[in-house]
Amino acid sequence: MSVMKRLSMIFRSKANKALDKMEDPRETLDYSYQRQLELLQKVRRGVADVATSRKRVELQINQLQQQARKLEDQGRKALGVGREDLAREALSRRSGLQTQIADLQVQHNNLQGEEEKLTLASQRLQTKVDSFRHKKETIKATYTAAEAQTRINEAFSGISEEMGDVGLAIQRAEDKTAQMQARAGAIDELLASGALDDFSGQRGDDIQAELDRMGGGNDIELELARMKAELGQGPAPRDAIEPGRPGQQQAPQAQPSQSAQPTQQYRQPGEGL
């Protein structure tokens, strides 16, 4: 198949598909009915024209017959006064009129037969047009009902174009709402974890945060142990914390001996007490 034939076929198929989408059966039926009415009107005009021609021929025949009878009377009168030549002339003219009358009678018969045929065709066409009109109205009503039912079903199912747009709008709104909710939840979690406390924009990692929490707990325990030692309620901790500087270790303080022993002097032998 050549390229031009393929392009022509594609164009026709596209055009046919576009026409199918644009075509409304009700409009097509109305147009067909209108065309049938126009054809019926043409047939009726044809019948009227044939009838007019037939009537005209009848008038001509009647006029010729009257002239023929007049010539016949004139021929008799001419014979009555002894004018045979005038009688012959009158009869000769009457014979010519009879020939014309015969020809017109043939035309009249033909026109009458044509008129009868056209009248019968007009009646049959009128019957078909009336039947088509009733069928057209029935089909249009059925199509309108089916179209309405289809639109209702599409609206209920949500597959119609209008409801589809509404459904998409609702879906987009729900997606944006879910996204905002997720974002709000994430920010709440970050605020709770302290990840957003640093307004300078520097954020520590999770391990550092855990180490800081553990260090803070140890500092509290060391401070509590130091306070107990000062009050005499317990031994001094190994890692005392300098007051006012949490997190730094302080060297252990020397504890005073609980029982002071007197210093004994060493005496040489022979010395007195």
Measured CA to CA, the distance from residue 127 to residue 134 in angstroms comes to 11
Buried b (16+ CB within 10 A) or exposed e, 79-99: eeeeeeeebeebbebbeebee
Give the model's pLDDT for residue 48.
92
pLDDT at 255 over 50: no
pTM: 0.48
Query: pLDDT digits over 160-192, tens only?
Result: 566 566 667 778 888 889 888 888 888 888 777
Q: Which of 21-25, 88-92, 215-219 has the lowest mean pLDDT?
A: 215-219
Per the structure block, which two tokens stand in for 87?
A: 């009688």
Confidence of residue 206 (pLDDT cuts 50, 70, 90): low
Measured CA to CA, the distance from residue 37 to residue 45 in angstroms comes to 12
Q: 75, 90 in Cβ contact below 8 A?
A: yes
Give the model's pLDDT for residue 164.
62
Per the structure block, which two tokens stand in for 89?
A: 């002339």
Query: pLDDT digits over 2-60, tens only?
Result: 777 777 777 677 666 666 666 778 888 888 999 999 999 999 999 999 999 999 999 99
Give the model's pLDDT for residue 58.
92
Confidence of residue 254 (pLDDT cuts 50, 70, 90): very low
